Structure 1
Amino acid sequence: MTIQYINRPDQLDSLCQLISQEPWIALDTEFLREKTYYPKFCLLQIAAPGWVACVDPLAIADLTPLLEAIYNPNIVKVLHSCRQDLEIFYQITGKIPGPIFDTQIAAPLLGFQENPGYAMLVSSFLNVNLSKAHTRTDWSERPLSEDQIQYAADDVIYLCKIYKIMCEQLDKLGRSNWLESDFALLNDPELYQLSPENAWLKIRGKNKLTGKQLSIMQSLTEWRERTAQQENKPRSWLLQDDLLLELGKLQPVTLTDLAKIRNINDRTVNRYGKVICELIDSAKQRPPKPLAEKDQAGKKTQQHEAILDVLSAVVRIRAEENSLNPIILATRKDLEQLLSGDEDCLLLHGWRYNMAGRELQGLLRGDFTLSLKPDGVVISVA
């Protein structure tokens, strides 16, 4: 298949015409973000059966006509593991180009493991082993070689073929509509733009901090996020996550104390040390934002664990009936969320709710009972 390499504005019209005639298109992006907070958009690959194009956003300053064509709500956009790709579109336009079909999300409904890689799907569906020759390519360098362009185009060429096979298999299993709510969640702007004041919610280990420790960690995490955005630097270049927790525990308020902390580098102390110490001192004077109930540290009782075991048994039964890996239906963490009443629990939405969530809620309310029979576990109305 001939690859259209588009690096001039006058080439966009014909591509937009091609896109407008398709019910769906495959998309992929190449970007760099090792040295930046925001991804640097370097290449856009687009394909449909019969054609493929690679668009150079470094050469074309105004992509408005192309974006308008892509954002057509009547055209399904097919991607694999789409979060970072969609972040780029959100960064440019402030919105998501729905509707979306993510092959990574869909694959487990066809018997694959959770979050399968693109190479695995290509190998499984098409018996093709993808080249890894340009895995670490600097996509911002120009000119791109023919091999690099072919490598980039292959991602969407094979994605088209995979999508068609997936749709056929999902239709055959009666599961084509199961993923609508999963894909709808991808339109949530919070997935692509983390607000600085809520950045602390992403820090693992936060539930082990209390009082002043938690307040300090929250304040420093908000500062780190704002500074990383303003300076367009990776947040880890400012402070690593584990260092945020350590600062919350040690609470240094002088540059001398700060410099003694393990893993903090001299550059950070010299450039940001005064601000960090002031933030720590200020945060010690105010109460922390409360942890959500699900994040509060506490020893789980044997009764709690027993309830989770019962719920897990139901998940395994329903997963087996539908030829799914139980982890795809619900993890133990999902069940803990359900037990805590978390409305964001996946079991309360979409196909998971219909397959098991409604029934699990009924068990917790006492509407259903479990009984043992020689041939297995039976769930019946109480």
Structure 2
Amino acid sequence: METVPFIDQPEALKAFCERLKGVDWFALDTEFIREKTYYPQLCLIQVATPEEVACIDPLNLEDLSPLTHLLFDPNITKVLHAASQDLEIFFHQQGRVPGPIFDTQVAASLLGHGDQVGYGKLIQLVLGVELEKGQSRTDWAQRPLETIQLRYAADDVHYLARAYPLMRQALEDNGRLAWLEDDFQRMQDPRTYQPDPETIWRRLKGINTLRGEQALAVARNLARWREQEAMRLDRPRRWLLQDEVILDLARRKPRDLKTLERVRGLAEQTARRHGDTLLELIREGAQCPSADCPTLPPRTRLEADQEALVDVAMGLLRHLALKNDISPAAIATRRDLEALVSGDPDCSLLQGWRARLAGRELSTWLRGETGLSVRGHQLTLTHGENPER
């Protein structure tokens, strides 16, 4: 690309979007910052078709409705790579999630490119192109953006628009295109991007180390308050309370400001402004009746013979992954196999393409309907007396 169109005027945006009407798909990416905010600040939107590419400036364009109409057009597929953060931005801005989508990172796993492959690596694998990495730390909120920055941003959709048709065709050729529908539908579920202050405590780093139901109640109260306050102020959670501070407060349960202020890592400003509130939340949690205290989700605890089954299942999983030219990690983790062995009906291996590829085979093996043998130094599945075909 010699030049990259930078669209920051309403007329130019309208003209560009008019040209996109009627296309079957377009590549989409965003640049954003969120170091100082709770909600990501959208700074740039990149869009490409095989014919053209443009960088759209949401900071100077008050009305993005021509583009928004296309983002939510059910007849146009939006092609993204590692789409979750981009979809989250549009959800917070519009209250809904663009669709339909096609995530090339998810698709890459079904094409044997590994689990959660990065964009640069994917483009190298599919197109043989080495992408420039020098602008990854750009402040995308600054204006004006330099030409080299716009080219870097445009590359994120320019090559995506070249790679997508090849990847889609490869998936069609091996009969795996439809396998992705369940994954893409889940990514378009608005609940994925809706913060829930009531359950956010479960995501605290190290929450499993807390002991005692009242300690969990304190952690829940503090995490809920932090989430609501961060949303209200549009400030990062860590600016109010870091996870380790919440856990320390839950363990120590300080009863007065002097003790509270001695908790390591608690910002002086937070203690000064919100000390009384924090103490009240801690007190309520410490006095929480057992019936109202939160509980951690039960961890799968397997018997020794079940652990042995998981060990063998790991080998069978690798066998099935190798046979289908897919990374085992893209199909399941050891925890997924533990869930399968323990009989969890919500196990991811029983859903979508993972069930087709491995879950059903693993389930029939666990039921004793198939067996394992070694033939020619290779693992094989046997169905009754008949070897795997």
- TM band (smaller chain): over 0.9
Residue 294 of structure 1 contacts residue 340 of structure 1 at CA under 8 Å; is this kept in 2? no
Q: Distance in 2 between matches of 1:61 and 1:343?
A: 48
Matched position secondary structure for 2:61: coil
Q: Are 1:130 and 2:131 counterparts?
A: yes
Which residue does the alignment assign to 2:65?
Answer: 64
Shift of 1:373: 4.3
Which residue does the alignment assign to 2:42?
Answer: 41
| TM-score, L = length of structure 2 | 0.92
Shift of 1:124: 2.1
Shift of 1:206: 2.3
Amino-acid identity (%):
43
Which residue does the alignment assign to 2:232?
Answer: 230
- Within the candidate set 217, 220, 223, 2:219 is matched to 217
Which residue does the alignment assign to 1:166?
Answer: 167
Q: Are 1:378 and 2:368 counterparts?
A: no
Which residue does the alignment assign to 1:28?
Answer: 29
Which residue does the alignment assign to 1:187?
Answer: 188
Q: Are 1:292 and 2:297 counterparts?
A: yes
Which residue does the alignment assign to 2:310?
Answer: 308
Residue 367 of structure 1 contacts residue 381 of structure 1 at CA under 8 Å; is this kept in 2? no
Q: Are 1:350 and 2:355 counterparts?
A: no
Aligned residue type for 2:277: V
Q: Distance in 2 between matches of 1:125 and 1:6?
A: 29
Residue 371 of structure 2 contacts residue 384 of structure 2 at CA under 8 Å; is this kept in 1? no
| TM-score, L = length of structure 1 | 0.93
Matched position secondary structure for 1:177: helix
- The within-5 A match list for 1:273-284 is 273-284=275-286
Which residue does the alignment assign to 1:267?
Answer: 269
- The within-5 A match list for 1:223-262 is 223-262=225-264
Aligned residue type for 2:296: L
Which residue does the alignment assign to 2:118?
Answer: 117
Q: Distance in 2 between matches of 1:56 and 1:343?
A: 46
Matched position secondary structure for 1:3: coil
Residue 213 of structure 2 contacts residue 295 of structure 2 at CA under 8 Å; is this kept in 1? no
Shift of 1:241: 1.6
Residue 3 of structure 1 contacts residue 51 of structure 1 at CA under 8 Å; is this kept in 2? no
Shift of 1:14: 1.4
Residue 19 of structure 1 contacts residue 70 of structure 1 at CA under 8 Å; is this kept in 2? no
Residue 213 of structure 2 contacts residue 294 of structure 2 at CA under 8 Å; is this kept in 1? no
Q: 1:316 to 1:132 in 2, by over 3 A?
A: closer
- The within-5 A match list for 1:354-373 is 354-364=356-366, 366=367, 368-373=369-374
In angstroms, what is the RMSD of aligned CA positions? 1.9
Aligned residue type for 1:13: K
Q: 1:123 to 1:69 in 2, by over 3 A?
A: same
Residue 33 of structure 2 contacts residue 43 of structure 2 at CA under 8 Å; is this kept in 1? yes
Which residue does the alignment assign to 1:91?
Answer: 92
Aligned residue type for 2:336: D
Q: Distance in 1 between matches of 2:345 and 2:64?
A: 39
